[in-house]
Amino acid sequence: MNDGRRLEAIGIDVGGTFLKAARVGGGGELLAHLEEPVQKASADDLLSQMQEAVRGLEDGSAAHAVGVGLPGIVDSTSGKLYNAPNVPVLNGLDIGRELGQRTGRPCFAENDANAAALAEAWMGAGRGAERMLFVTLGTGVGGALVFEGRIWGGRSGYAGEIGHLQADPGGPPCGCGSWGCVETIAGGPGWERRARAALPTRASSLRGAPLLDPATIVAAALQGDALALELVDGAAAAVGMGVACALNLLNLDRVVIGGGVARAGEFLLGRIVEQARRRTFPHVFADAQFRPAELGSDAGVVGAARVALLGAPPGVAS
């Protein structure tokens, strides 16, 4: 498709609290941006909000395509959204089709972590990599694989679940149905659970802390608190084990680590890399570069726009 218009797509990032959207150029430029409280009383409300966002962001001419990042699993066979507890009104819907009917634009839906991974691969810390693992450390531990610039979703689009590799065979039950998953240790609630279990018997500056979140614990570790350091190392070992699994299975060339917990910085990331190194074939480890994510809160809309460009008719995506 080349009708003389500038190549532009709209990216929409649907979160549980905010809806973000942007008009993005074919070279990844952010041209216009909006952020609003998400309207999620009904599917119709939310689809109408997305439709209005597209209309508001289009600058006199139709966008080539629209991409939507969604906080759940987008089944690649049916196109339907599943497991979206933060926007339950959209569960079971084919958002690409629904929004396409409303806007008249080609619309494509993708899991939001996959969209962020595509954004990093396109414009961020994954540039130049052919085989990238993206890890998000937040309340949950998520992941995505980007091979040659596209999401590698596996049979139904569910691939990349590094948070649910088993890091501790004796660990606690996980919401996924298994137990001892990386996420039970290195997800936000895992940090708090481990801190609460240890505090009664340990001297620590964490005692009496109002929050036992990763940022608080990392800050205490940086001040030399021994228990906090153990908690950091426990999370680093779990994530490092998961990353090592991915490296030994896939001989990747890039690992990008993002998410709110990753913003605790080099202190945590360096420990994750070291724990991965200890569990990985040396020649496989040497093939991989580790990088913190670069795009921050823009990754969602930029990635959704990339989904649009990749999904649009042949020749549109570079």
CB of 244: closest distance to its own copies in angstroms? 7
Candidates 47-55, 98-106, 159-167, 299-307; binding stretch for its own copies (CB under 8 A): 159-167
Longest dimension (CA), the chain: 70
245 binds its own copies (CB under 8 A): yes
d(CA 285, CA 107) in angstroms, rounded, equals 39
Which residue blocks in the chain are alpha helix, DSSP H?
43-57, 95-103, 112-123, 182-186, 188-198, 214-222, 226-250, 266-278, 282-286, 299-311
CB of 211: closest distance to its own copies in angstroms? 28
Query: Which 212-241 positions form the footprint of its own copies (CB under 8 A)?
Result: 237, 241
172 binds its own copies (CB under 8 A): no
The DSSP line for 162-192 is: GGGSBS-TT--B-TTSSBSBHHHHHSHHHHH
94 binds its own copies (CB under 8 A): no
Query: Which 282-311 positions form the footprint of its own copies (CB under 8 A)?
Result: 282-284, 287-288
d(CA 56, CA 48) in angstroms, rounded, equals 12
Question: In the set 249, 266, 314, 315, which binds its own copies (CB under 8 A)?
Answer: 249
Question: In the set 177, 200, 314, 315, which binds its own copies (CB under 8 A)?
Answer: 177
Q: How many residues bind its own copies (CB under 8 A)?
A: 44
Between the alpha carbon of residue 168 and those of residues 163, 270, 273, the distances in Å are: 12, 21, 19
Q: In the complex with its own copies, which residue's Cβ is closer, 107 or 145?
A: 145
Query: Which 119-158 positions form the footprint of its own copies (CB under 8 A)?
Result: 130-131, 143, 145, 152-158
243 binds its own copies (CB under 8 A): no
d(CA 229, CA 50) in angstroms, rounded, equals 44
CB of 7: closest distance to its own copies in angstroms? 30
d(CA 5, CA 7) in angstroms, rounded, equals 6
120 and 305 Cβ atoms separated by less than 8 Å: no
253 binds its own copies (CB under 8 A): yes
- Cα Rg of the chain (Å, integer): 20
192 binds its own copies (CB under 8 A): no
24 and 301 Cβ atoms separated by less than 8 Å: yes
CB of 163: closest distance to its own copies in angstroms? 9
**Applying CB under 8 A, which residues contact its own copies?**
130-131, 143, 145, 152-162, 164-169, 176-178, 237, 241, 244-246, 248-253, 278-284, 287-288
